[in-house]
Amino acid sequence: MIHHGAVVRQPLSARAGPGPLGDGRTPGCGLLAVLGRPACRVWASALRALPLVLAPRDRRGEESVSCVCGLGPSTEECCGRYVNEGKPAPTPEALMRARYAAYVLQKIDFVESSHDPDTRHEMDKDGALEWSRSAKWLGLDVNATEGGGPDDDEGVVEFVAKYEVQGRVANHRERAYFKKIKGKWFYHDGDMIKPKPMVRDTPKVGRNDPCPCGSGKKYKKCCGR
């Protein structure tokens, strides 16, 4: 079970088609999901309003270095098998990592082809390409997975994708949903996950309380100045 910020969700088979823009679901570009419909179009609009400086193409996938998804000895031996060679990803997590790698390597055709045909028409391909070029991709963390086994037709991957655009670093948290169609996994849609609010572990110190540093002074006359 996932408790950290998970969204209660009906099974894919019990849900109707995509809701209207802004309903919290992301059946759009999908970074893997990352550039879902709300995120994709908001970012595309924001980027078009800024002076666009395209980052040089990340060529890590063409060298023998660790895979851009964070696993595997090289991109060729990991996500490159799916992105460049067309091999089917065996699990939703493998497909999600490959879709992230496709954004890093600007292989947006793979992002499109690995999208569920039922929701593929929602994808903003131009916006996805613009975002993939403009962002500096900083890494991918997979926090949890559900289903997605050999006998499953549905799977869920909860992840955080880190990136930087125009000098601003952001974390994209998403719960992504995948479907198996004729034995092949596809990204279906996803839900954005808001980070949990910070909870104070210690009582709040009043300005007239003794300073917790142990100086003997009031907080307002010491560390609270």
Q: Which amino acid is at 6?
A: A
What ranges do the domains of the chain cover? 12-194
Query: Which of 10-24, 44-58, 89-103, 183-197: highest mean pLDDT?
Result: 89-103
Question: Band of the pLDDT at 11, cuts 50, 70, 90?
Answer: low
Residue whose pair of structure tokens reads 């994808």 in the numeric block = 123
**Sign, CA torsion 64/69/73/79:** negative
pLDDT band at 150 (very low <50, low <70, confident <90, very high): very high
pLDDT in tens, 45-90: 544 554 434 344 444 444 446 999 999 889 999 999 999 999 999 9
Q: Tell me the average pLDDT of the chain.
A: 76
Note the pLDDT of residue 208.
73
> Any bridge partners for residue 168, and if so which?
165
Q: pLDDT above 70 covers what percent of the chain?
A: 59
> Cα(10)–Cα(213) distance, rounded to whole angstroms?
50
Question: Are residues 178 and 26 in contact, defined by beta-carbon separation less than 8 angstroms?
Answer: no
Q: What is the pLDDT of residues 17-56, one digit of tens each?
A: 333 333 344 333 445 444 444 445 544 554 455 443 434 4
Residue 19's pLDDT is 34
Residue 193 has a pLDDT of 87
The pLDDT score that the predictor gives to residue 57 is 44
List the one residue out of 71, 75, 79 whose CA is nearest residue 61: 75
Mean pLDDT of 194-212: 66
What is the mean predicted confidence (pLDDT) over 134-147? 95
- Point out the least confidently predicted range of 32-41, 130-139, 176-185: 32-41
3-state secondary structure of 115: strand
Q: What phi and psi values does residue 54 have, to the nearest 5 degrees? A: -70, 130
Tokens at 95, concatenated = 């497909």
The SS3 assignment for 57 reads coil
State the CATH architecture for 12-194: Roll (3.10)
Q: What is the pTM of this model?
A: 0.65
Whether the per-residue pLDDT at 222 is higher than 70: the answer is no
Contact 37, 122 (CB under 8 A): yes
Q: What are phi and psi of 92, to 5 degrees?
A: -60, -40
